[in-house]
Chains A and B, each alone.
Chain A
Amino acid sequence: MSTAQDGSLPEAIPEQAGKPDHAQAPQTNDKNTKTDATETSKPAKLSGAELKAKAKAEKAARRAQVKASKEVAKGEAAVSSAPGQLGPSAGEVKGSKAKGKQDGGATTTSGAAGRPVVSKGPVSVTPSEPKLTIPECFSHLTMAKRIPITQADKDVHPTVLALGQQMATFTIDESITRLKATLLAFKKVIDSYTTPPGNTLARHLTPHVLNPQIDYLTACRPMCFSMGNAIRWLKLQVSKIDPDVPESDAKKQLCGGIDTFIQERISMADLVITEKAAEKIQDSDVILTFGRSSIVERALIHARLINGKKFSVIVLDDPYDRKGQTLAKNLTAEGIRVTYCGDLGGLGYNLQDATSILVSAESMFNNGSMYAPSGTCDIAIAAKQLGISVIVLCETINITERVATDSLTYNEIDPERSSGESLRLLYDTTPDKYLSLVISELGSVQPTSVPDLLRKLEESN
């Protein structure tokens, strides 16, 4: 969220931006030099006497930074070995670099985890996976990795260790669920944190405590965009802690902040979206959905139980996943008529009865395209052809300032079903032209207006 798309605006207040711009610009450049010097220098600059001025200039700084880092970010996305490809944006990635000095392999974590050839650190020599040679044309994509707990960094908190395993095994899978679990785990990390003598929390917590957790999580499974967004937010909160505030107060402040964040951006957001989506469902509608998304499920059940609508649902499923079966059962349990089709065979036929498509986004890109489970785009294309609306549910925390031009810009490889001979992508990118409506907690917009939501959020912050 911090790097706003409105960097392109010509009036990006130069005089305010001046100072922080300096602070930021080297960071983005140094990122590629793989040193941790910038990381330590950053808090130093920011936590000085100019802290208040910095806070005021924060927004302008972000705008300016966009200018400075836009090219870098683009380049990063294009380079196949770009670390943290799925995760945090420029500033965040740097965090993992700082970590690099400790285990040497962390720099390759998210980007190269799947490629033993490139990786050098302990992460990559884990014996849990056999030789994986992802075909050259997909080698730039990221993949989750089971890391034996024994090989994790010693600084990783037990809660985070457990979470990492859950993510690596896809026990926790949805973007919003992963985000919430991560934030709750970080609360525990902060709770058990004690600032070593001679350090300040604001300067020490992020590089020495949070970053190892983040690196570990990223190594387990590439971060989703919402995690990147939230972690960037969290680091900002940490950096804003006044050095004069007692540690216990600071921790309380941070944990309280996390609670509010979860409340506003996740819980309330989900509630609002569920209601708004349910309102879209009318009697005798036939709603088609793909796989199982918990927010889609809630919206459908809300429409049935709270709004009392009588409609039916067609569940199309990914046969490798079959989570749609759970959805089908949960919906029938609430008295909703369900038709289930285990794959996308006869898609055109299945769509003939549908009145609208309801899906949830793993993420929305800045150009209005949607990142969602692989197969969603195929359904949207067929729906568009028949004039059926595609409704996307998406919490604003899932919106990223990045842009994906196709499904191979950002994606994740299924570690379970990929080998030297086979491949499965977890996601695809649906261009905005196939989508009709994005329902977020801030309101319902057309896909191309997604960046405007981001800007609005940023301005209200």
Chain B
Amino acid sequence: MGPPKGGYAPDLDKFLDTLKSRPVDASVDFLISLLKRRQIQGSESCAIATARVLLQVVAKDKWIDVDQLIGRIQLVGRKLVAAQPHELVIGNIVKRVLGLIRDEASEDRNDIANDSPPGGTTTLPPSIETVPVEKSIRPPSLAAFGSFARSQSMFTLLSDPDFIPSPSSTSQLGSGSSTPQRYPQSTNVQALKSEVIDGIEEIVDEIRQVDEQIQNYADIYIHPGDYIMVHQPSRTVQRFLTRAASKRKFTVLIVVDPSASHISDDPYASFRKALTSGGSTVVNIMNVGLMAYMSRVDKVILGARAITSTGGVVVDSGAAAIARAAREQGRTVIVLGGVYKVSPDSRSHQEAFVEWGSPSKYVNFADGRMVGQVKVRNVVAEFVSSELVNTYVTNLGAHSKDHLHGIIADHYNDEDVNFDLFGKTQR
């Protein structure tokens, strides 16, 4: 159920410890099995594990050029995504590492700009078949215009195919149908390797610092006397509120997981202590319908498992009802989550984000009539559509839903955004 509420899962630490001593393939397989069995779960743990294992791939695998490395990362990435397709952050990290490699490689290429154009064609497995789009569609190199880059495709129509060094090279439209070899083989593999490793380390640091950074925005959004409702608060949310509580007094209504429904063992005891010591009030709410409280609530703060490019949020099961109630009552809904959770993944339908769990959560397996004849459903994660969310706070600050694609543009390479890590594995 849900991401671990505090600290890293011990399984993650164990896994990370074994990385150095194992061969890369063994590490990948080990992580796949941990993900499948949910021994590593929760977006932060999954993200860190993914980044670490990809670092091993970069560091230990024998690759002779950029394309080979990219192909390798894509392959490992697919396997990891397949192991736990509901954790969007796995795909996010894979794509960020891919982008990182591309960026480092193209910097490299610019350094040796006068090199002859590459000859060979790609050796990568085609990921998905797309309707044939003319390969030569590529705008003139307006790259120098920075923020224009993303919009250049409007000029696709008029662009000059002759402008491109190798006419058959690429599709800027990023369908992922092919990954052209744009990177000269003479790239300094060693230098690139260390650059990429540094880059991945930076991603890991970024993930680990997310809570620290997000909580800096707490006093902006939490005001004295507020009634704040949170749903099974993640560590990110807890630290956010704890920071605010060190400066001001407010009331927190914690919607708890009903399956841990004994008053005696409060899963949020230390969180409660941290808040009440500053004079704030904390109440555990033992309801699943939360509209009853909404006339009292000023703000709802939800921790994201993942945020989609259109602003939809994958949340722990039950949070969607809160968001809906808040919207009906005109209350503010704030979503917290690190930038690494903002996913370029654009699945077309919300149901794709619904994650099912064991039906035994509320139904006793010994109850033959329930188990035998009734179809029992239990949802673990669900989707909150962007209309229900007012603002998103990441480690980079607050964002509106309309401009999340800016974050994606800044953190992912176009060629990877639409690369379908997911689709293939579903077949």
Nearest chain A residue, comparing its CB with the CB of B276: A421
Tally chain A residues at the interface, Cβ within 8 Å. Answer: 57
A358 to B227, CA, bound (A): 33
Choose, from B151-159, B187-195, B373-381, B414-422, the stretch at the interface. Answer: B373-381
Q: Which residues of B contact A377 (CB under 8 A)?
A: 289, 291-292, 325
A137-B227, A407-B295, A422-B284 known; A378+B290 contact, CB < 8 A: yes
Most chain A CB within 10 A, of B325, B370, B379, is at B379
Q: Which residues of B contact A440 (CB under 8 A)?
A: none
Nearest chain B residue, comparing its CB with the CB of A416: B263
Once the chains bind, are A417 and B263 in contact (CB under 8 Å)?
Answer: yes
Once the chains bind, are A338 and B375 in contact (CB under 8 Å)?
Answer: yes
Complex interface bits, B84-110 against A, C-beta within 8 A gives 1, otherwise 0? 000000000000000000000000000
Q: For the complex, is A261 an interface residue (Cβ under 8 Å from B)?
A: no
A422-B263, A428-B292 known; A382+B324 contact, CB < 8 A: yes
Once the chains bind, are A346 and B283 in contact (CB under 8 Å)?
Answer: no
Q: For the complex, is A340 an interface residue (Cβ under 8 Å from B)?
A: yes
Nearest-Cβ distance from residue A87 to partner chain B, whole angstroms: 20
A-side interface residues toward B, CB under 8 Å? 135-137, 315, 317-320, 322, 325, 328-329, 332-333, 337-350, 352, 373-379, 381-382, 385, 405-408, 411, 414, 417-419, 421-425, 427-430
Nearest-Cβ distance from residue B155 to partner chain A, whole angstroms: 40
A425 to B255, CA, bound (A): 12
Nearest-Cβ distance from residue B76 to partner chain A, whole angstroms: 31
Once the chains bind, are B369 and A329 in contact (CB under 8 Å)?
Answer: yes
A408-B292, A408-B296 known; A347+B321 contact, CB < 8 A: yes
Kindly list the 5 A-B residue pairs having the minimum CB-CB distance in the complex, ordered from nearest.
A375-B289, A342-B362, A345-B317, A346-B379, A319-B258
A343-B288, A377-B291, A417-B286 known; A328+B370 contact, CB < 8 A: yes
Once the chains bind, are B284 and A421 in contact (CB under 8 Å)?
Answer: yes
Once the chains bind, are A320 and B361 in contact (CB under 8 Å)?
Answer: no
Once the chains bind, are B382 and A349 in contact (CB under 8 Å)?
Answer: yes
A421 to B380, CA, bound (A): 26
Q: Which residues of A contact B168 (CB under 8 A)?
A: none
A137-B251, A320-B258 known; A407+B293 contact, CB < 8 A: yes
Query: Could you list 12 A-B pairs, sorted by A, with CB under 8 Å?
Result: A319-B362, A320-B286, A329-B373, A337-B375, A338-B374, A341-B376, A341-B379, A349-B382, A378-B290, A406-B294, A421-B284, A427-B292
Once the chains bind, are B318 and A345 in contact (CB under 8 Å)?
Answer: yes
A343-B362, A349-B379 known; A423+B285 contact, CB < 8 A: yes
B-side interface residues toward A, CB under 8 Å? 227, 251, 256, 258-259, 261, 263, 266, 272, 281-296, 317-318, 320-321, 324-325, 328, 350-351, 354, 361-363, 367, 369-370, 373-380, 382-383
Nearest-Cβ distance from residue B371 to partner chain A, whole angstroms: 10
Once the chains bind, are A422 and B363 in contact (CB under 8 Å)?
Answer: no
Q: Which residues of B contact A338 (CB under 8 A)?
A: 373-375
Once the chains bind, are B288 and A375 in contact (CB under 8 Å)?
Answer: yes
Once the chains bind, are B284 and A345 in contact (CB under 8 Å)?
Answer: no
Once the chains bind, are B292 and A343 in contact (CB under 8 Å)?
Answer: no
Nearest chain B residue, comparing its CB with the CB of A335: B373
Q: Which residues of B contact A318 (CB under 8 A)?
A: 287-289
Q: Which residues of A contact B351 (CB under 8 A)?
A: 349, 352
Nearest-Cβ distance from residue B318 to partner chain A, whole angstroms: 5
Once the chains bind, are A343 and B382 in contact (CB under 8 Å)?
Answer: no
A343-B362, A346-B379 known; A328+B289 contact, CB < 8 A: no
Nearest-Cβ distance from residue A60 to partner chain B, whole angstroms: 37
Identify which of A325, A347, A375 contacts B363 (C-beta below 8 A): A325
Nearest-Cβ distance from residue B206 to partner chain A, whole angstroms: 31
A338-B375, A342-B378, A344-B289 known; A325+B370 contact, CB < 8 A: yes
Once the chains bind, are B328 and A381 in contact (CB under 8 Å)?
Answer: yes
Once the chains bind, are A345 and B287 in contact (CB under 8 Å)?
Answer: no
A411 to B293, CA, bound (A): 11
Nearest chain B residue, comparing its CB with the CB of A349: B354
Identify which of A340, A345, A374 contacts B375 (C-beta below 8 A): A340
Q: Which residues of B contact A345 (CB under 8 A)?
A: 317-318, 320, 378-380, 382
Once the chains bind, are B292 and A374 in contact (CB under 8 Å)?
Answer: yes
Most chain A CB within 10 A, of B256, B261, B380, is at B261
Having A325-B362, A423-B285, one finds 11 other A-B pairs with CB under 8 Å, namely: A137-B227, A318-B288, A319-B362, A320-B287, A342-B362, A347-B320, A348-B350, A374-B292, A379-B289, A381-B325, A424-B285
Once the chains bind, are B382 and A346 in contact (CB under 8 Å)?
Answer: yes
Q: Which residues of A contact B361 (CB under 8 A)?
A: 342
Q: Which residues of A contact B285 (CB under 8 A)?
A: 422-424
A333 to B251, CA, bound (A): 47
Q: Which residues of B contact A379 (CB under 8 A)?
A: 289
Once the chains bind, are A325 and B379 in contact (CB under 8 Å)?
Answer: no
Identify which of B287, B324, B354, B379 contacts A424 (C-beta below 8 A): B287
A428 to B294, CA, bound (A): 10
Identify which of A317, A333, A422, A425 contacts B292 (C-beta below 8 A): A425
Nearest chain A residue, comparing its CB with the CB of B272: A421
A137-B227, A378-B324, A382-B324 known; A332+B369 contact, CB < 8 A: yes
Once the chains bind, are A319 and B350 in contact (CB under 8 Å)?
Answer: no
Once the chains bind, are A421 and B370 in contact (CB under 8 Å)?
Answer: no
Most chain B CB within 10 A, of A137, A352, A379, is at A137
Q: Which residues of A contact B263 (CB under 8 A)?
A: 417, 419, 421-422
Nearest-Cβ distance from residue B57 to partner chain A, whole angstroms: 36
Q: Which residues of A contact B272 (CB under 8 A)?
A: 421
Once the chains bind, are A341 and B378 in contact (CB under 8 Å)?
Answer: yes
Nearest-Cβ distance from residue B232 to partner chain A, whole angstroms: 11
A357 to B226, CA, bound (A): 35
Q: Which residues of A contact B283 (CB under 8 A)?
A: 135, 421-423
Nearest-Cβ distance from residue A104 to partner chain B, whole angstroms: 32
Q: Which residues of B contact A375 (CB under 8 A)?
A: 287-289
Once the chains bind, are A325 and B367 in contact (CB under 8 Å)?
Answer: yes
A337 to B281, CA, bound (A): 45
Nearest-Cβ distance from residue B317 to partner chain A, whole angstroms: 3
Once the chains bind, are A135 and B281 in contact (CB under 8 Å)?
Answer: yes
Identify which of A329, A427, A428 contacts B374 (C-beta below 8 A): A329
Q: Which residues of B contact A429 (CB under 8 A)?
A: 292
